[in-house]
Amino acid sequence: MIGLPSPGVQGPKRPGEAKGGGPKRPGEPAKDTVVPVELPPTMVLTVPPKEGYLTLFTTAQAKVSLRSIPGGNALPEREAPENGVLIYEKLPPGRYRMEITREAHEPLTATISIQRGRPTAVSGPLLEKDGAIILSVGGQVTRESIEKKEAVVKLNGRAIDPRRLEFKDERIYIRGVPITRRPQEISISNKGYADWSQQRVILRGECENLIPVTMVREAITLTLKSLPNAEVYIDGAMKGMIKADRTLSIQGLDPGEYELWVRLDGYDRHTRRLKLALDNRNPVEDVTLEPLADQTEFRASFDPSISQWWPARRQGLQLEPGNPRGLYVREGAFALANNTSRANRTFNIYDDFTFIFNVRFDNGKGAAWVARAQDERNYYLFELNKQEKALNFYICRDGECEKKRPDPVLANIDEEGAFFRIRLEARGNSFSHIIYTREGEQNLGGVIVDDAFRYGGVGLRAINGSEMFVNEFFVRPRK
């Protein structure tokens, strides 16, 4: 008995066949006949002089029958093993009728001659009646995804019954595909991936129809809007920092639920659950960070550098000449109290507070002050208009200030060159003012209620041509 070639080892050669490949060109169907081949060196043996010896290379699990001719005896039918090699020892020399069959394959018949004292080797692989497609999908499509109906394999637009799909070694085998001359369309749809398809002329056999499949994963790009330099985390992993334009894009997110954190020194950490789905592949999340309110009192010292005010530019602000005891505030001025020690903050941010300042109307028009400022463009604005004898309330958004209500002022504010003390009490969404004049203490307008801004800075602004001189400015947070 001789040894068989190991699986995967190159099989026997036909006479005259080159070492680098078989006689069949790519795309050419296999021949429907048996042909003599040369045995590999490992299978060559010495045959007794009066006996014959046959080695058959065929399709695994094929049924093989031999009958001597003319009118001779039939040998017992045998089945080819997995390596497709059948060996007949001590075979009487002569001519034989060979029949090879297997279900779903074209049968093969041939007449062969067994020579005396010499080994005979023939090759007779069977052709499948239909084609078989092999989809090399890696881990992109699994049996579980097919069973859950998350993935569907189609042939020419019709879904293939999952029972026809055979999974092995990250490949999908589709057998019994009709052979046609026209290209057929194989397609796959799978949850989380872009649809894949390919036009293919299906040939007989399996290896002829091995198709690598690369599916493009569908991903989500999340855009976050928040304060610059804020750190962004998804499920505890840092994804970047909010840029100067107040946005950050995070690409390549799969559908599903995530926990989002946004943190910035000086602000409460923001946490929320996100549910991302492919029906919205470019979601935008606005994250408002709530500031940790300053607990430090502010009292303006009117130092020569005016360092306790924000922004750094000094348009409209001027110290009193000589030994400064106050600050001139003229048209274009905008200044917020700033002695904060918190990181990532350019001015004091308060929630509830008391604000007191002394003011003189230098050109007889009045005074204005700011509360709950988010920046230079978003804040509450209060204007004491001497000519109208009114306290005007504005809400400023994106640099545009809209007057919401005027309240009549009953206090005497007509005295030229006089200083007036004004006190603002901010509690939640309500604001009330008191003015101190020579006649004493009086309410300045009514209580104002609004929910536009919950936190922010306190400061001064000159509007409508007004000029004022402030010689006391004090803010006390409510603890």
Greatest Cα pair distance in the chain:
142
Give pLDDT, residue 11: 46
Give pLDDT, residue 130: 81
Q: What's the CATH code of the domain at 270? A: 2.60.40.1120
Give pLDDT, residue 258: 97
338 and 469 inside one domain: yes
Question: What is d(CA 245, CA 228) in angstroms, rounded to the nearest whole number?
Answer: 7
Question: What is d(CA 5, CA 11) in angstroms, rounded to the nearest whole number?
Answer: 8
Give pLDDT, residue 331: 86
150 and 266 inside one domain: no
- Identify the segments of the chain with pLDDT beneath 50: 1-11, 13-30
Give pLDDT, residue 153: 97
Give pLDDT, residue 4: 34
Give pLDDT, residue 304: 74
Where helices occur in 72-149 by DSSP H, the ranges are 143-147
Q: What's the CATH code of the domain at 55? A: 2.60.40.10
Q: Could you tell me the sign of the dihedral formed by the alpha carbons of 140, 143, 144, 148, in that order? A: positive
Structure tokens at 212: 């690598």
16 found inside a domain: no
Give pLDDT, residue 233: 97
Give pLDDT, residue 96: 94
Question: In which domain, by residue range, is 204 found?
Answer: 131-212
Give pLDDT, residue 206: 60
Give pLDDT, residue 205: 64
Give pLDDT, residue 470: 96
- How many independent structural domains does the chain possess? 4
> 192-217, pLDDT tens digit by residue?
888 999 999 988 766 678 999 999 88
272 found inside a domain: yes
405 found inside a domain: yes
Q: Could you tell me what percentage of the chain is helix, strand and coil, using 3-state DSSP and rounding each to the nearest 5?
A: 5, 50, 50
Length of the chain: 479
Last residue of a domain, one of 77, 101, 123: 123
Beta-carbon count within 10 A of 468 CB: 25
Question: What is d(CA 285, CA 123) in angstroms, rounded to the nearest whole number?
Answer: 68
Give pLDDT, residue 181: 83
Provide long-range contacts, Cβ within 8 A and 24+ apart, for 247-254: 247/223, 248/223, 248/224, 249/221, 249/222, 249/223, 249/224, 250/221, 250/222, 250/223, 250/224, 251/219, 251/221, 252/219, 252/221, 253/219, 253/220, 253/221, 253/222, 254/192, 254/217, 254/219, 254/220
38 found inside a domain: no
Whether the model clears a pTM of 0.75, i.e. scores above it, the answer is: no
